Amino acid sequence: MFGLASAAIGVAISTLRSWLWLSPQHRTRTTLVVLMYHKISDRTCDALTVRQRDFAAQLHWLAQNGYTPISFAELIAYHLHQTNLPQKPIILSFDDNYHNNFVLAYPLLKQLGFKATVFVPVGYVGKTNAWDDGSEPLMSYETMRQMTDLIEFGIHSHSHKDYRTLTADEIAADIAAASRTAAESGFPYSPIFAYPYGGLPKNPVLRRQVKTLLERHGFLCAARIKGTANTLPLRDRYEICRIGISGYDTLDDFIAKLENGKA
Protein backbone atom coordinates (compact mmCIF):
# COMPACT_ATOMS: atom_id res chain seq x y z
CA MET A 1 0.00 0.00 0.00
CA PHE A 2 2.68 2.36 1.15
CA GLY A 3 4.77 1.49 -1.91
CA LEU A 4 1.91 2.17 -4.33
CA ALA A 5 0.98 5.43 -2.63
CA SER A 6 4.61 6.46 -2.63
CA ALA A 7 4.92 5.56 -6.32
CA ALA A 8 1.74 7.51 -7.11
CA ILE A 9 3.12 10.52 -5.26
CA GLY A 10 6.39 10.08 -7.12
CA VAL A 11 4.55 10.07 -10.47
CA ALA A 12 2.52 13.10 -9.43
CA ILE A 13 5.66 14.99 -8.42
CA SER A 14 7.50 14.10 -11.61
CA THR A 15 4.44 15.09 -13.69
CA LEU A 16 4.27 18.38 -11.83
CA ARG A 17 8.00 18.90 -12.26
CA SER A 18 7.87 18.23 -15.98
CA TRP A 19 4.85 20.49 -16.31
CA LEU A 20 6.67 23.26 -14.44
CA TRP A 21 9.74 22.70 -16.55
CA LEU A 22 7.88 22.43 -19.83
CA SER A 23 5.46 25.26 -19.34
CA PRO A 24 7.85 28.20 -19.73
CA GLN A 25 9.77 26.35 -22.45
CA HIS A 26 6.51 25.67 -24.23
CA ARG A 27 5.51 29.32 -24.10
CA THR A 28 8.93 30.45 -25.26
CA ARG A 29 9.00 28.14 -28.20
CA THR A 30 5.47 28.49 -29.40
CA THR A 31 4.12 31.97 -28.80
CA LEU A 32 5.25 35.56 -29.03
CA VAL A 33 3.03 38.53 -28.29
CA VAL A 34 3.85 41.74 -30.15
CA LEU A 35 2.15 44.78 -28.63
CA MET A 36 1.39 47.92 -30.62
CA TYR A 37 1.21 51.39 -29.12
CA HIS A 38 0.92 54.83 -30.72
CA LYS A 39 0.93 57.95 -28.51
CA ILE A 40 1.75 58.28 -24.81
CA SER A 41 0.32 61.27 -22.90
CA ASP A 42 0.55 62.68 -19.38
CA ARG A 43 -2.87 64.34 -19.74
CA THR A 44 -5.36 62.36 -21.74
CA CYS A 45 -6.21 59.04 -23.35
CA ASP A 46 -8.08 57.73 -26.39
CA ALA A 47 -7.96 54.65 -28.59
CA LEU A 48 -4.46 55.54 -29.81
CA THR A 49 -3.19 57.38 -26.71
CA VAL A 50 -2.15 55.60 -23.51
CA ARG A 51 -1.66 57.62 -20.34
CA GLN A 52 1.92 57.53 -19.10
CA ARG A 53 0.88 56.15 -15.70
CA ASP A 54 -1.01 53.28 -17.36
CA PHE A 55 1.95 52.55 -19.61
CA ALA A 56 4.21 52.51 -16.53
CA ALA A 57 1.85 50.06 -14.77
CA GLN A 58 1.88 47.80 -17.85
CA LEU A 59 5.69 47.80 -18.02
CA HIS A 60 5.98 47.01 -14.32
CA TRP A 61 3.49 44.16 -14.68
CA LEU A 62 5.61 42.73 -17.51
CA ALA A 63 8.76 43.04 -15.39
CA GLN A 64 7.12 41.45 -12.35
CA ASN A 65 5.82 38.58 -14.44
CA GLY A 66 9.14 37.69 -15.99
CA TYR A 67 8.69 39.05 -19.51
CA THR A 68 11.75 40.16 -21.47
CA PRO A 69 11.15 42.65 -24.27
CA ILE A 70 13.15 41.74 -27.37
CA SER A 71 13.77 43.49 -30.68
CA PHE A 72 12.58 42.39 -34.11
CA ALA A 73 16.28 41.90 -34.90
CA GLU A 74 16.38 39.19 -32.22
CA LEU A 75 13.19 37.64 -33.60
CA ILE A 76 14.72 37.55 -37.09
CA ALA A 77 17.93 36.01 -35.73
CA TYR A 78 15.84 33.35 -33.93
CA HIS A 79 13.91 32.71 -37.13
CA LEU A 80 16.78 32.71 -39.63
CA HIS A 81 19.73 31.58 -37.52
CA GLN A 82 18.08 29.51 -34.76
CA THR A 83 19.45 31.72 -31.97
CA ASN A 84 17.77 31.48 -28.56
CA LEU A 85 15.09 33.78 -27.21
CA PRO A 86 14.57 34.58 -23.53
CA GLN A 87 12.03 32.47 -21.65
CA LYS A 88 9.11 34.88 -21.89
CA PRO A 89 9.82 37.15 -24.84
CA ILE A 90 7.57 40.01 -25.85
CA ILE A 91 7.92 42.84 -28.38
CA LEU A 92 6.83 46.38 -27.53
CA SER A 93 6.26 48.39 -30.70
CA PHE A 94 5.18 51.96 -31.36
CA ASP A 95 3.78 53.23 -34.66
CA ASP A 96 4.18 56.66 -36.28
CA ASN A 97 7.30 58.01 -34.49
CA TYR A 98 5.50 60.40 -32.11
CA HIS A 99 7.76 62.79 -30.21
CA ASN A 100 5.84 61.94 -27.02
CA ASN A 101 7.40 58.45 -27.23
CA PHE A 102 10.78 60.07 -26.52
CA VAL A 103 9.48 62.34 -23.75
CA LEU A 104 7.13 59.96 -21.93
CA ALA A 105 7.83 56.35 -22.95
CA TYR A 106 11.59 56.22 -23.40
CA PRO A 107 12.45 57.25 -19.78
CA LEU A 108 10.23 54.44 -18.44
CA LEU A 109 11.74 51.90 -20.83
CA LYS A 110 15.19 53.11 -19.80
CA GLN A 111 14.42 52.63 -16.09
CA LEU A 112 13.63 48.98 -16.71
CA GLY A 113 16.20 48.40 -19.46
CA PHE A 114 13.34 47.41 -21.78
CA LYS A 115 13.90 47.30 -25.55
CA ALA A 116 11.24 48.57 -27.93
CA THR A 117 10.68 49.25 -31.61
CA VAL A 118 9.41 52.42 -33.28
CA PHE A 119 8.00 52.20 -36.81
CA VAL A 120 8.64 55.42 -38.74
CA PRO A 121 6.69 56.82 -41.69
CA VAL A 122 9.93 58.03 -43.24
CA GLY A 123 8.37 60.82 -45.30
CA TYR A 124 7.42 62.65 -42.09
CA VAL A 125 10.54 62.52 -39.90
CA GLY A 126 10.82 65.78 -37.92
CA LYS A 127 7.37 66.93 -39.15
CA THR A 128 3.85 66.26 -37.88
CA ASN A 129 1.27 63.53 -38.46
CA ALA A 130 -0.12 65.24 -41.57
CA TRP A 131 -1.89 62.02 -42.71
CA ASP A 132 -4.14 62.49 -39.67
CA ASP A 133 -4.90 65.93 -38.18
CA GLY A 134 -1.30 67.16 -38.26
CA SER A 135 -1.38 68.22 -34.62
CA GLU A 136 1.22 65.79 -33.27
CA PRO A 137 4.95 66.43 -33.63
CA LEU A 138 7.02 63.50 -34.82
CA MET A 139 10.60 62.79 -33.84
CA SER A 140 13.55 64.22 -35.73
CA TYR A 141 16.62 62.14 -36.55
CA GLU A 142 18.46 64.01 -33.80
CA THR A 143 15.90 62.83 -31.24
CA MET A 144 15.78 59.31 -32.66
CA ARG A 145 19.56 59.03 -32.33
CA GLN A 146 19.29 59.62 -28.57
CA MET A 147 17.24 56.45 -28.17
CA THR A 148 19.20 53.90 -30.16
CA ASP A 149 20.65 52.25 -27.04
CA LEU A 150 17.27 50.57 -26.45
CA ILE A 151 15.08 51.43 -29.40
CA GLU A 152 15.27 49.91 -32.86
CA PHE A 153 13.65 51.89 -35.65
CA GLY A 154 11.80 50.24 -38.51
CA ILE A 155 9.89 51.57 -41.52
CA HIS A 156 6.18 52.36 -41.49
CA SER A 157 5.88 53.21 -45.21
CA HIS A 158 6.83 56.53 -46.78
CA SER A 159 3.51 58.39 -46.97
CA HIS A 160 1.40 56.55 -44.40
CA LYS A 161 -1.26 55.63 -46.96
CA ASP A 162 -3.43 52.56 -46.44
CA TYR A 163 -2.05 49.82 -48.73
CA ARG A 164 -5.52 48.24 -48.80
CA THR A 165 -6.71 51.22 -50.86
CA LEU A 166 -3.73 51.54 -53.25
CA THR A 167 -2.93 49.90 -56.58
CA ALA A 168 0.07 47.61 -57.00
CA ASP A 169 2.00 50.44 -58.70
CA GLU A 170 1.20 52.90 -55.92
CA ILE A 171 2.31 50.43 -53.25
CA ALA A 172 5.51 49.68 -55.18
CA ALA A 173 6.24 53.42 -55.46
CA ASP A 174 5.67 53.94 -51.73
CA ILE A 175 7.90 51.04 -50.70
CA ALA A 176 10.63 52.24 -53.11
CA ALA A 177 10.37 55.82 -51.77
CA ALA A 178 10.52 54.55 -48.17
CA SER A 179 13.63 52.46 -48.90
CA ARG A 180 15.34 55.31 -50.78
CA THR A 181 14.55 57.92 -48.10
CA ALA A 182 15.70 55.60 -45.31
CA ALA A 183 18.96 54.81 -47.10
CA GLU A 184 19.65 58.47 -47.93
CA SER A 185 19.06 59.50 -44.30
CA GLY A 186 22.08 57.50 -43.13
CA PHE A 187 20.05 56.60 -40.03
CA PRO A 188 20.56 53.01 -38.78
CA TYR A 189 17.10 51.67 -39.60
CA SER A 190 16.45 47.99 -39.07
CA PRO A 191 15.15 46.15 -42.17
CA ILE A 192 11.69 45.71 -40.66
CA PHE A 193 8.35 47.09 -41.82
CA ALA A 194 4.92 47.80 -40.32
CA TYR A 195 1.96 48.17 -42.67
CA PRO A 196 0.18 51.55 -42.36
CA TYR A 197 -3.15 51.06 -40.57
CA GLY A 198 -1.97 47.52 -39.91
CA GLY A 199 -3.41 46.06 -43.09
CA LEU A 200 -2.40 44.22 -46.24
CA PRO A 201 -4.44 44.15 -49.46
CA LYS A 202 -7.19 41.50 -49.35
CA ASN A 203 -6.54 40.36 -52.93
CA PRO A 204 -4.20 37.35 -52.52
CA VAL A 205 -2.20 38.14 -55.69
CA LEU A 206 -1.59 41.74 -54.63
CA ARG A 207 -0.89 40.60 -51.09
CA ARG A 208 1.82 38.26 -52.34
CA GLN A 209 3.22 41.03 -54.56
CA VAL A 210 3.54 43.37 -51.56
CA LYS A 211 5.48 40.79 -49.57
CA THR A 212 7.75 40.06 -52.55
CA LEU A 213 8.38 43.79 -52.99
CA LEU A 214 9.32 44.14 -49.33
CA GLU A 215 11.68 41.18 -49.60
CA ARG A 216 13.28 42.63 -52.77
CA HIS A 217 13.88 45.90 -50.95
CA GLY A 218 15.70 44.01 -48.21
CA PHE A 219 13.01 43.96 -45.52
CA LEU A 220 13.31 40.79 -43.44
CA CYS A 221 9.89 40.92 -41.81
CA ALA A 222 6.69 42.95 -41.65
CA ALA A 223 4.06 43.48 -38.97
CA ARG A 224 0.31 43.86 -39.29
CA ILE A 225 -2.50 44.33 -36.79
CA LYS A 226 -4.25 41.17 -35.67
CA GLY A 227 -5.31 40.64 -32.09
CA THR A 228 -3.49 37.40 -31.53
CA ALA A 229 -0.11 36.06 -30.46
CA ASN A 230 2.34 34.68 -33.02
CA THR A 231 3.21 31.02 -33.21
CA LEU A 232 6.94 30.38 -33.32
CA PRO A 233 8.66 29.55 -35.56
CA LEU A 234 6.80 32.13 -37.65
CA ARG A 235 4.83 30.76 -40.55
CA ASP A 236 5.06 34.02 -42.49
CA ARG A 237 7.65 36.65 -41.58
CA TYR A 238 5.68 39.23 -43.56
CA GLU A 239 2.54 38.85 -41.48
CA ILE A 240 3.67 39.19 -37.87
CA CYS A 241 0.57 39.75 -35.75
CA ARG A 242 0.39 42.68 -33.34
CA ILE A 243 -2.11 43.35 -30.57
CA GLY A 244 -3.10 47.01 -30.23
CA ILE A 245 -3.15 48.55 -26.74
CA SER A 246 -5.82 51.23 -26.34
CA GLY A 247 -5.76 54.10 -23.88
CA TYR A 248 -9.06 52.76 -22.52
CA ASP A 249 -7.56 49.39 -21.52
CA THR A 250 -7.41 48.75 -17.78
CA LEU A 251 -4.50 46.71 -16.43
CA ASP A 252 -6.85 43.69 -16.41
CA ASP A 253 -7.71 44.35 -20.08
CA PHE A 254 -4.00 44.58 -20.83
CA ILE A 255 -3.32 41.22 -19.14
CA ALA A 256 -6.29 39.63 -20.92
CA LYS A 257 -5.03 40.86 -24.29
CA LEU A 258 -1.59 39.51 -23.52
CA GLU A 259 -2.94 36.11 -22.51
CA ASN A 260 -5.91 35.69 -24.83
CA GLY A 261 -5.41 38.08 -27.71
CA LYS A 262 -7.76 40.92 -28.52
CA ALA A 263 -10.17 42.15 -25.88
Q: Contact positions toward Zn ion, by CB under 5 A?
A: 95-96
Compute the least distance from the CB of residue 78 to Zn ion, in Å: 26
Q: What is the distance between the alpha carbons of residues 149 and 167, in angstroms, rounded to a whole number? A: 38
As measured in angstroms, the least distance from the Cβ of 153 to Zn ion is: 14
CA distance 193 to 139: 18
Nearer to Zn ion, 162 or 215 (CB): 162
- Tell the smallest beta-carbon distance from residue 156 to Zn ion (Å): 5
Minimum CB separation from Zn ion for residue 193, in Å?
12
Residue with nearest beta carbon to Zn ion: 95
The answer for residues whose C-beta is within 8 angstroms of residue 110's C-beta and 6 or more apart is: 150
Radius of gyration of the chain (CA): 20
Within 13 Å of residue 55, how many CA atoms lie on the same side as its CB?
Answer: 33
CA distance 75 to 260: 21
| Closer residue to Zn ion, CB minimum distance, 89 or 121 | 121
State how far the Cα of 91 lies from the Cα of 46, in Å rounded to an integer. Answer: 22
Among residues 7 and 170, whose Cβ is nearest to Zn ion? Answer: 170
Pick the closer one to Zn ion by CB: 54 or 96: 96
